[in-house]
Structure 1
Amino acid sequence: MDKTQVAKVDNVTLARRGEQVDGTLHLTPHHLIFSHFPPLSSEDQAKGLTIRPKELWITYPIIAFGTLRLAPAASRQLSSIRLRCRDFTFVCFYFANEHKAREVFESIKQWTCKSGRLDKLYAFTYQPLLAEKEFNGWEIYNPRKEWMRQGVLKESSGWRISDINTDYSFSPTYPALIAVPSSISDNTINYAGRYRSRARIPALTYFHPVNNCTITRSSQPLVGVRQNRSIQDEKLLATIFSTSRSERPLASFSHPNLENEQSDSSHGSSEWNEAGPDMSNAEDVKDDMLAAARGNSEDERMIYGAQQQNLIVDARPTVNAYAMQAVGMGSENMDNYKFATKVYLGIDNIHVMRDSLNKVVDSLKETDVTPLGPNRDQLARSGWLKHIAGILEGAKVITGQVGLQHSHVLIHCSDGWDRTSQLSALSQVCLDPYFRTLEGFMVLVEKDWLSFGHMFRHRSGHLNSEKWFQIENERIGGDNNRGFESSGAGQALENAFRSAKGFFGRDNNSRDSLQESDGEMLSYDSDTPTKKPSPSSAPRSIVAEKEVTKVKETSPVFHQFLDATYQLLHQYPTRFEFNERFLRRLLYHLYSCQFGTFLFNNEKERVDTKAKERTRSVWDWFLARREQFMNPLYDPEVDDHKRGQERLLFPRPKDTRWWAESFGRADEEMNGPRLSDASPATGYDSPGAIRTPIVTGIETAQDTVTTEASSTNVSNVAASGLAAVTSGLSNLSILKNHQSEPKGEESLKEVEVEMQ
């Protein structure tokens, strides 16, 4: 059935950033296009010059919310359609004809929702430009080539490539080829897979070529209330952690950046300043906790590189990890993993991150009808910078363990494809200069996000939902997922715009004015779903059958990774071959559905649907425009003896700032002076508010150590059974007494959602 009720509407007024222009609206099967003629200056008119129309292209999948507001009967006001896009474009269209407005709204809704089928998206009909046809981005990542670069394929590495998952029957969400220790048989791997959620066993993702230490990643173990264990899983992990022995400790090596941060920070402080959480001393905090767990005095604490200290990094808050035991999952019992120490990073789940971004959107949502800047108070309350700083701090801990202390690290969260991917990929950016090149970053995304699996289809909401399209006059009640709900100045200005069309009279040549397309469109925790994918899933289950986007499964996980990468780029501007524009365009194409790269959840889905044959890779688009994404400040030289040229990068979480360009705002609008001391830019109520450090818990085989704000009694939670879960949940109330915001209630809500 033809979804277009109307293909072209004249005399439409577009409002954006408080400006208005009149033009024509076109609705094509894949894009909404608004064209208008900018005013011609008197000087150009005298020269007899003509002007070309300017166009605004909006691809349907990038539309996040839409609201139709019908003009009251016998009113001089105009009906309007307000759209909020996932790339944070906010626009409003005004129509003199109510019937036309309704037709356009219904057409946009139907084209955006695409009847719940992936093969109806633009990627399956997109025809690349001639320049793009010269590239094949699908071949940019070859796992064997990358393992060879890292040194994994050397006989002395202690690793081999297992074929146990070549048909994806062992773990449908894992890559076909998995690197495992040479001494571990596939039979052991098969049994170990039964102990990890979705059989996502500890598998190699990074082999550090300097010291042969590794980053492995997995999902959570199936511990449950009965404290289940797996000898095979324990053997696998013990072997991974013994695959290298440092021949020369780096006790005498000191990283200049790390030295500066430690000298500038007070020992043991957990205060949060206006730039974000002051975690520059989190390594000291962690060392103190490790020393306490072993009964060592501070004087006996080991320095970087003095000995190997292998880590199991659980990205979740401590209480959440224990709560998962009630549904048969949980976190490692360290009595069975005495060869390692476990840390909890306290990074919140997908639901908290989604709510945080929604609060950022709330501060920007009047952007279409007003020229005002973002609401700074709402930005402060979003907590977005706190979350980005937490991810950076986790990457900093992992980078220090692998790069300085010559240790192995295993990372997991719940299913090992959200927080795990963030930490794994970001740590490798910090460890390996190759991943800071344009090609290397593409390989990293292919490896740690696409090959190891991330739920792009669900997290990005590619198939959209009719719930996100509302007719305001017919809506009853409110909704946290609402698109727009004007009030105050925004409502007053919109009413004025609707009652009198007109342009402000200034030229459309500012950064925020309507611009021509810049090329990409010209040719036109539970962190898991409830059902485990079947190994025998047919392609039609992914593409042909209808699927409804579940709002609660959407979350800006990959967006946060790009934001954290931007923070590193801003902090180390000479160490990256690519520029900020590359990250911004990558964020746009995450949602554009113009390419097949980000449409699927794992490698198996891409193989089953023949994505490489039926769609183009997003890397073709970037490689064809390579010069646009080069960083002129890039210095490729690596020399650990020269400041600014070290191999390792250490994030500075305290310097976390708003990535203003990603939200379509000027830097001064989001990172300028705060309105008052009571509303710092990072989202905390007061500069002196005490916040939970990123390392919320340390476990060894003997003891459990946690921070006060996490729980004073979490050591008791180390006991098995439902009593552990009950103890952990009851201690959530402690948070309310230590924080100025109702964090306890927030955490409780989060745990309840994770257990669903």
Structure 2
Amino acid sequence: MEFADFIKTPMVNNVVLRQKFKKAVDGTLCITGHHLILSSRNQHTEELWLLHSCVDSIEKKLTGSTGTLTLKCKDFTILFLEFQTVEDCLDVCTSIEQLSNLADLGMKYPFSYRPMFEILEDGWQAFPPEIEFNRQKECGEEWRLSYVNKDYKLCPSYPSVVIVPKQIEDELLQRVAKFRHHGRFPVLSYFHKDNKSVLMRSSQPLTGQNGNRCKEDEKLVNSVLSQGRRGYIIDTRAQSVAKMAQAKGGGYEPEANYSRWRRIHQPIERHQAFHDSLIKMIEACSDSNSSMDKWLSKLESSNWMTHIKDILTCACVVAQCMDKEGASVLVHGADGFDTTLLVTSLAQLILDQDCRTVSGFEALIEREWIRGGHPFRERCSKSAYAISKQRKESPVFILFIDAVWQILQQFPCSFEFNEEFLIFLIHHAYSSQYGTFLCNNEKERIEHKVTTKTVSLWSFINRPQVLNQYLNPMYEPNPVVIWPSVAPQSLTLWNSLYLRSHIDQTPHEDAWREITKTREFDKELKAKAGKLRR
């Protein structure tokens, strides 16, 4: 089908746009294949350019001969459009509903978008696995790059290049993949330079009720431990859940077969629970008539902050095993591409100062989430306002970014980027003109030629004039391991994200702009003083 088939009316005059804490805009509304555009004759008002894919749900209210549409977006912004006729209101509503739910990936905006800026650095080439491996030269003697999955037949959700123990041959990896759910065999996630411990990730083993063994898997897992050293297997499921999985053909590593490893169950809910939790939390945020007791009760019953606490706790356990005990760690849940990635990513953020820089954090997202096979297309298809029947959507990536924000609040000087950078990433994970977060895995991105037909988000944001607004003015490089508190009193609701349509963020934004100006002025003074001394 063509875009024109979805558009009931391409243009409507005298439409009023209303947003809380902003002046109303009266203008002409245009509907294109990808955007909702509202332009005004008043040169001093901002135009609206909204991607249809950003719309999560639409509510219509008809009053007499007029109508109002409430657009609730995936990034938690809310817009109101007022129409002079019911017919225009209904036509626009139908058009947006169809255009915001296009199933054909090739019709998505990133494939049509042409940048208006000069690409200084191709983001698709910014973090190749070979370069990332070279950055960890210390582990080069014991690990290698394997291209065993170059055709994606061994594991469809893994990248074509993975890092595995040097002594483990590709033939053995092929047998191990058959023993792990979805073929996600153990691979290197992070090498801790200080004590040479390693962090690996995988999916659950297929031990089943009969206690199936795979000696090749045992050999691979044991090969990362040096003589006399022990390791930890961190299972992100409760022990009862892992046993239930065993009855369905999954399971966990029995200590009798992995005698040098101690298994720890550090429970985190499955991805299905996250979506329900987000819906309840946003519903609580939207209830402006709640009393204090009712608000706190709703927030607690949503379990959103509990998920944050559980995720951070598990990441801290992993980091503690590696940093304090010098032990290697293997992390997995069931599938290996949701809670597993949450934990391995946050553990690296805690352990490594490089992950707290802009470039290092982008590289972390690239290797752990994008190449690591997190199914962005399925998980980010809907957000908090849409009650979907798919049950594949889940705010796993939002939980990760929220947990990062929690650590940023506790260590405000240890991160090179600010909270606007984190909000920016969430927005583009759900709706973007860039192709970085498209598809579920590298295999799909290759099939759809994403790297040749779309622009990378990193190409845009890493330009100095753009990146400057996302830098933390208080940043001071911090080489030590940072240990976030997971006490309930230490964790707070992210107002700037979840309550952006309910609480005016202008004072908060103005304060940070003033801090940025002051820090820049201080840097200029120091630079001048340095020149005078020389």
TM-score above 0.5, yes or no? yes
Q: Which moved more, 1:565-574 or 1:143-152?
A: 143-152
Counterpart amino acid of residue 496 in structure 2 = E
Partner residue of 1:344?
A: 265
Aligned to 1:208: 192
Write the deviation string for residues 480-503 of structure 1: whole angstroms up to 9, x where unpaired: 955xxxxxxxxxxxxxxxxxxxxx
- In 2, the alpha carbon distance for the partners of 1:309 and 1:407 equals 6
> Once the two structures are superposed, what CA deviation does each residue of 1:555-575 show, in whole Å capped at 9, x if it has no partner?
000111111111111111111
Contact 2:14 2:83 in 1 (8 A): yes
Between the aligned partners of 1:37 and 1:54, the Cα distance in structure 2 is 10
Structure 1 distance, partners of 2:282, 2:440, is: 26
CA shift in 2, pair 1:326/1:37, >3 Å: farther
Indicate whether 1:137 and 2:58 are aligned.
Answer: no
Distance 1:224 1:575 in 2: 45
Mean CA deviation greater in 657-666 or 435-444: 657-666
Matched, 1:630 2:471: yes
Residue pair 1:151, 1:209 contacting (<8 A) in 2 also: no
Matched, 1:316 2:237: yes
Cα displacement (A) at 1:129: 2.4
Q: Is the 8 A contact 2:139 2:191 kept in 1?
A: no
Residue from 61, 64, 83 that aligns with 2:53: 61
TM-score by length of 1: 0.62
Who is 2:484 aligned against? 651
2:209 corresponds to 1:225: yes
Which of 9, 14, 22 matches 2:12?
Answer: 9
- Equivalent position amino acid for 1:119 in 2: G
In the TM superposition, 1:116-515 aligns within 5 A as 116-131=103-118, 133-151=119-137, 154-155=140-141, 158-242=142-226, 308-365=229-286, 375-461=295-381, 481=386
Q: Note closer, same or farther for the CA distance 1:616–1:372 as it changes in structure 2 (3 Å cut).
A: farther
**What is the CA–CA distance in structure 1 between the aligned matches of 2:441 and 2:138, rounded to whole Å?**
23
For residue 117 of structure 2, give the secondary structure of its aligned residue in structure 1: coil
**1:5-60 deviations in Å (ceiling 9; x for gaps):** 1122222233433877352322222111234577xxxxxxxxxxxx4232233211
Change (3 A) 1:620 1:92: same
CA contact (8 A) 1:453 1:602 kept: yes
State the AA in 1 paired with 2:85: N
Q: Aligned pair count?
A: 496
Distance 1:164 1:182, change over 3 A: same
Q: Distance in 1 between matches of 2:295 and 2:36?
A: 29
3-state SS in 2 of match to 1:184 = coil
Q: Which amino acid aligns with 2:483?
A: F
Q: Which digits, 9 at most, give the CA deviation of each residue in 1:478-532, with x for residues without a partner?
A: xx955xxxxxxxxxxxxxxxxxxxxxxxxxxxxxxxxxxxxxxxxxxxxxxxxxx
| Pair 235,387 (structure 1): closer, same or farther in 2 beyond 3 Å | same
The alignment-based identity, stated in percent, is: 33
SS at match of 2:49: strand
Aligned to 1:80: 68
* Residues 458 and 550, structure 1, Cα contact 8 Å, conserved in 2: no
Q: How big is the shift at 1:454?
A: 0.5
Q: Contact between 2:204 and 2:251, CA under 8 Å: does it hold in 1?
A: yes
User: Is the 2:350–2:481 Cα contact (8 Å) retained in structure 1?
Assistant: yes
Does the aligned pair in 1 maintain the 2:197–2:327 contact within 8 Å? yes
Shift of 1:101: 0.9
Q: Could you tell me which amino acid in structure 2 is paired with residue 612 of structure 1?
A: T
SS at match of 1:449: helix
The counterpart of 2:403, out of the listed 564, 567, 571, is: 564
Distance 1:152 1:167, change over 3 A: farther
Cα distance in 2 between the residues matched to 1:103 and 1:637: 55
Q: 1:89 to 1:372 in 2, by over 3 A?
A: farther
Q: Secondary structure at the match of 1:321?
A: helix
| Paired amino acid for 1:83 | L
Given candidates 426, 440, 444, the residue that maps to 1:601 is 440
- Aligned equivalents of 1:128, 1:366: Cα separation in 2: 40
For structure 2, the 5+ residue unaligned runs are 506-534
CA contact 2:204–2:335 (8 Å) conserved in 1 = yes
Distance across 2 between alignment mates of 1:233 and 1:140: 33
Q: Name 1:109's counterpart in structure 2.
A: 97
C-alpha displacement of 1:460:
0.4
Q: 1:379 to 1:563 in 2, by over 3 A?
A: same
Distance in 1 of aligned mates of 2:461 and 2:447 = 26
Contact 2:18 2:25 in 1 (8 A): no
Answer yes or no: is the 8 Å Cα contact 2:20–2:502 preserved in 1.
Answer: no
Cα 1:379–1:11 shift into 2, 3 Å: farther
Instruction: Report the residue type matching 1:440 in the other structure.
Output: G
Residues 445 and 18 of structure 1: CA distance in aligned 2, closer, same or farther (over 3 Å): closer
Deviations 1:331-379 (A, max 9, x none): 2222211111111111001111101100112123468xx9999955422
User: Counterpart of 1:111 in structure 2: which amino acid?
Assistant: L
Tell me the amino acid that sits aligned with residue 629 of structure 1. Y
Structure 2 distance, partners of 1:362, 1:669, is 18
Note the residue ranges of structure 1 that are not aligned, 5 or more in a row: 39-50, 246-307, 469-479, 483-548, 639-646, 671-756
Distance of 1:359 and 1:389 partners within structure 2: 17
Query: How far off its partner does 1:550 sit?
Result: 5.5
| Separation (CA, whole Å) in 2 of partners of 1:93 and 1:457 | 28
Using the TM superposition, give the Cα deviation of residue 551 of structure 1 relative to its aligned residue in structure 2, in angstroms.
2.9
Q: Which residue of 2 aligns with 1:31?
A: 35
1:96 aligns with 2:96: no
For residues 669 and 331 of structure 1, the distance between their equivalents in structure 2, rounded to whole angstroms, comes to 48
| Counterpart secondary structure, 1:553 | coil
Structure 1 counterpart of 2:180, one-letter code: R
Between the aligned partners of 1:98 and 1:376, the Cα distance in structure 2 is 39
Q: Identify the structure with bigger relative contact order (alpha carbons < 8 Å, sequence gap 6+).
A: 1
Partners in 1 of 2:48 and 2:39 — Cα distance? 6
Contact 2:78–2:501 under 8 Å retained in 1: no
Residues 29 and 310 of structure 1: CA distance in aligned 2, closer, same or farther (over 3 Å): same
Query: Does the CA contact (< 8 Å) of 1:150 and 1:208 recur in 2?
Result: no
The 1:377–1:21 alpha-carbon spacing in structure 2 relative to 1, beyond 3 Å, is: farther
* Residue pair 1:140, 1:442 contacting (<8 A) in 2 also: no
Aligned residues of 2:204 and 2:252 also touching (Cα < 8 A): yes
1:660/1:667 contact within 8 Å kept: no
Name the residue aligned to 2:431.
592
Counterparts of 1:376 and 1:631 in 2: how far apart (Å)? 31
1:706-745 matched pairs, under 5 angstroms: none
Residue 522 of structure 2: aligned partner: none
Q: Which residue of 1 aligns with 2:526?
A: none
Read off the aligned partner of 2:398 and give its amino acid letter.
H
Q: Is the 8 A contact 1:90 1:365 kept in 2?
A: no
Deviation at 1:152, TM superposition (A): 5.1
Do the aligned residues in 2 keep the contact of 1:393 with 1:651 (CA within 8 Å)?
A: no
1:653 Cα offset (Å): 1.2
Deviation at 1:603, TM superposition (A): 1.4
Amino acid at match of 1:31: H
Q: What's the CA shift string for 1:49-98, capped at 9, x where partnerless?
A: xx423223321111111123334xxx47x322222111001122232311
- Deviation by residue 1:163-185 (Cα, 9 ceiling, x = unmatched): 21122221121121222212222
Larger Rg: 1
Query: Residue 141 and residue 456 in structure 1: after superposition, are their counterparts in 2 closer, same or farther (change >3 A)?
Result: same
